[in-house]
Chain A
């Protein structure tokens, strides 16, 4: 049995089930940004307790917003995280911060430096998961920045090369996932956007994933999110990775790269990006249905997950919500069409009986 069935809601209306979820980040409520300014202002009467309460409130709000949109698997929108590398680097021994560096224009990031061997210190995400799970009525997914990206987007002062650093970080990610699994998590998504910059390093990412998946029970679903790159440079090699699902950004490029995944056959589950994370226009339900059907050219319905291209934190919040809601409606419509036999499923499931 696939570890996907555990996420099918009880009493699901259709026979077919397309798992709907998100990649992770979500626009922060404006009041949370104001609370953060207060928390960082030494003169303000706003301490760690107040900040903890504010982030709890935001995490609850966004988790419920995801449920209201009808998603099958939810996250808290990463309300406690500032940036996908910084957040983890602050929690790992061996990192130090020296100040912001340019990404583009006047967009900066506090790129950390690895100054000694990285070591596991405090837990990174168990508190976040336990809180989200306690307020959610739906299953919760945990996105984690992958070791290759954590290595590649840091200054490396301590290791001979980024590969050695990535492997050490992979062992820490494995340790964190073990703790998350112990806390009840059943759906983990590894985010590796840096693979798009240096696709030739896919073997290193594969080596990292071997370490990450080591000893993790089969019923824990592991996905890998890769975005904004030339997928032909990493496919079909990535099919060897020990993950259940690939989460891919394809709507942004209008599915130009879809054919890459048809030859050879896509043997994993596909989490297909069906709404653009960087266009503020909300796709119509009909448009999203057409996008979902593109995914059925690659995998059968029982291996298709439906999600946005990428984290949606840069969108206006109401736009992000509308995209989620339309995504769910479209998925349910396509399920109903599948039930009625109105869709020709070209990517038939391989016979396994």
Chain B
């Protein structure tokens, strides 16, 4: 078994970049990232990417993410910057005091290449690159469809779009995390649960890397979890911070993939877990479920952008330290 320290990508901007970018871009809805930025803004994002990659390397993480500094709209970003998508009103991001621009899909979701371009830039900075993408079910859930006209067709279109984006990722990408919080917060019903799994499967098959389907803010309903097991992913991720009991129940009752991701660091609280606490949580999970795993991705349960920078960096360090001795052993 290999423990792999990693995170879910979307990071807080360094404080100086917060100021610099808000000066360059402005505070209003129409000032946010469109995919067509001024060179001064682009070069700021290049600097931020380098800083965020460096922070992960300093922390000793085994997988390094691009940091998604450009993702003003959090997981909805790949759609809000798409040319056939209109940025609608500012809407609430799940049950948080955070908001994003509602992506209103008004035309075909053809290839964009936005995520691949950022990953290309990050590939020059690290050999341990991990991509993070919204899952098709969550991305469709975060968007408004005014083009496809049917939920089923829209989900299929979003899956096909994401598969196309993932296919364009650079070879340097070793792991792809597919984030599906909506599978927990807005669970798919009968029939839709199977389609959600098939959509994830389509995205996973497009990747030339290990794929982890991770959901958070609770545990999947049993049927949703059972369907997810049919998707051709290498690992499924479980949020042990928000609901360890139901997640362990799902794994004990239905099994899981050969590898797992465990959200053991709270992405939404400034209380920093010690490396010992992180190790205890992993051990607790492994004791509670049958079998052994090939890889255990040790991660925060959610994205980390909710945190102030100092605590964010301390959490990276704790994750790195929690895993380091095991790897060397």
Chain A residues with a Cβ under 8 A of chain B: 98-108, 111, 113, 152-153, 155-157, 194, 197-198
Tell me which of A106, A107, A155, A198 contacts B270 (CB under 8 A).
Answer: A155
Q: Are B306 and A156 in contact (CB under 8 A)?
A: no
Instruction: Using A106-B21, A197-B96 as known contacts, say yes or no to A101 and B269 having CB atoms under 8 A apart.
Output: no
Q: Are B18 and A104 in contact (CB under 8 A)?
A: no
> Mask for B96-109, Cβ within 8 A of A = 1, else 0?
11111000000000
The residues in B between 291 and 329 inclusive whose CB is less than 8 angstroms from any CB of A are: 305-311
List residues of chain A with CB within 8 A of the CB of B97: 103, 152-153, 194, 197
Measured in the bound complex, the distance between the Cα atoms of B283 and A105 in whole Å is 39
Tell me which of A113, A153, A198 contacts B95 (CB under 8 A).
Answer: A198
Q: Are B90 and A104 in contact (CB under 8 A)?
A: yes
Measured in the bound complex, the distance between the Cα atoms of B94 and A197 in whole Å is 9
Measured in the bound complex, the distance between the Cα atoms of B305 and A101 in whole Å is 8
Closest to A102 in B: B305
Closest to A153 in B: B97
Q: Are A102 and B308 in contact (CB under 8 A)?
A: no
Instruction: Using A101-B307, A155-B269 as known contacts, say yes or no to A106 and B18 having CB atoms under 8 A apart.
Output: yes
Q: B15, B92, B97, B307: which has the most chain A beta carbons within 10 Å? A: B97
List residues of chain A with CB within 8 A of the CB of B268: 155
Q: Are B27 and A106 in contact (CB under 8 A)?
A: yes
Measured in the bound complex, the distance between the Cα atoms of B93 and A248 in whole Å is 23
Measured in the bound complex, the distance between the Cα atoms of B270 and A146 in whole Å is 22
Measured in the bound complex, the distance between the Cα atoms of B311 and A113 in whole Å is 11
Q: Are B72 and A108 in contact (CB under 8 A)?
A: no
A206 to chain B, nearest CB (A): 20
Q: Pick 5 A–B contacts, CB within 8 A, sort by A.
A: A99-B309, A104-B93, A104-B99, A106-B72, A155-B268
Measured in the bound complex, the distance between the Cα atoms of B97 and A156 in whole Å is 15
List residues of chain B with CB within 8 A of the CB of A100: 15, 18, 308
List residues of chain A with CB within 8 A of the CB of B27: 105-107
B43 interfacial by beta-carbon distance below 8 Å: no
Chain B residues with a Cβ under 8 A of chain A: 12-13, 15, 18, 21-22, 25-29, 31-32, 72, 90, 92-93, 95-100, 268-271, 305-311
Measured in the bound complex, the distance between the Cα atoms of B25 and A198 in whole Å is 32
Measured in the bound complex, the distance between the Cα atoms of B269 and A155 in whole Å is 5
Measured in the bound complex, the distance between the Cα atoms of B100 and A113 in whole Å is 24
List residues of chain B with CB within 8 A of the CB of A157: 269-271
List residues of chain B with CB within 8 A of the CB of A99: 15, 308-310
List residues of chain A with CB within 8 A of the CB of B93: 104
Instruction: Using A103-B98, A105-B29, A198-B95 as known contacts, say yes or no to A98 and B308 having CB atoms under 8 A apart.
Output: yes
Closest to A155 in B: B270
List residues of chain B with CB within 8 A of the CB of A98: 270, 308, 310-311
B300 to chain A, nearest CB (A): 14
List residues of chain A with CB within 8 A of the CB of B100: 104
B171 to chain A, nearest CB (A): 32
Tell me which of A101, A106, A153, A197 contacts B12 (CB under 8 A).
Answer: A101
Measured in the bound complex, the distance between the Cα atoms of B26 and A157 in whole Å is 33
Measured in the bound complex, the distance between the Cα atoms of B271 and A157 in whole Å is 5
Measured in the bound complex, the distance between the Cα atoms of B197 and A180 in whole Å is 57
List residues of chain B with CB within 8 A of the CB of A104: 90, 93, 98-100
B55 to chain A, nearest CB (A): 15
Measured in the bound complex, the distance between the Cα atoms of B100 and A108 in whole Å is 13
Q: Are B95 and A197 in contact (CB under 8 A)?
A: yes
B41 to chain A, nearest CB (A): 11
Across the A-B interface, the 9 shortest Cβ-Cβ residue pairs: A99-B308, A106-B22, A104-B99, A157-B271, A98-B308, A155-B270, A113-B270, A105-B32, A155-B269
List residues of chain B with CB within 8 A of the CB of A152: 97
List residues of chain B with CB within 8 A of the CB of A106: 18, 21-22, 25-27, 31-32, 72
Tell me which of B29, B98, B269, B310 contacts A102 (CB under 8 A).
Answer: B98
Measured in the bound complex, the distance between the Cα atoms of B19 and A107 in whole Å is 10
Measured in the bound complex, the distance between the Cα atoms of B259 and A248 in whole Å is 50
Measured in the bound complex, the distance between the Cα atoms of B308 and A107 in whole Å is 14
Closest to A149 in B: B97
Measured in the bound complex, the distance between the Cα atoms of B308 and A103 in whole Å is 12
Measured in the bound complex, the distance between the Cα atoms of B11 and A102 in whole Å is 10
Q: Are B310 and A103 in contact (CB under 8 A)?
A: no
Measured in the bound complex, the distance between the Cα atoms of B181 and A163 in whole Å is 24
Known: A101-B12, A104-B90, A197-B92. 6 other contacts (CB 8 A): A98-B308, A98-B310, A104-B100, A105-B29, A106-B18, A157-B271
Measured in the bound complex, the distance between the Cα atoms of B270 and A98 in whole Å is 9
Closest to A96 in B: B270
List residues of chain B with CB within 8 A of the CB of A197: 92, 95-97
Measured in the bound complex, the distance between the Cα atoms of B97 and A152 in whole Å is 9
Instruction: Using A106-B18, A113-B270 as known contacts, say yes or no to A101 and B29 having CB atoms under 8 A apart.
Output: no
A325 to chain B, nearest CB (A): 27
Measured in the bound complex, the distance between the Cα atoms of B15 and A113 in whole Å is 18
Q: Are B31 and A105 in contact (CB under 8 A)?
A: yes
Closest to B314 in A: A98
Measured in the bound complex, the distance between the Cα atoms of B97 and A153 in whole Å is 7
Closest to A193 in B: B97
Measured in the bound complex, the distance between the Cα atoms of B241 and A309 in whole Å is 37
Measured in the bound complex, the distance between the Cα atoms of B95 and A152 in whole Å is 11
A92 to chain B, nearest CB (A): 16
List residues of chain B with CB within 8 A of the CB of A156: 269
Tell me which of A101, A107, A198 contacts B306 (CB under 8 A).
Answer: A101
Measured in the bound complex, the distance between the Cα atoms of B21 and A98 in whole Å is 20
Measured in the bound complex, the distance between the Cα atoms of B310 and A106 in whole Å is 19
Measured in the bound complex, the distance between the Cα atoms of B267 and A282 in whole Å is 42
Measured in the bound complex, the distance between the Cα atoms of B16 and A108 in whole Å is 13
Tell me which of A105, A111, A153, A198 contacts B308 (CB under 8 A).
Answer: A111
List residues of chain A with CB within 8 A of the CB of B28: 105
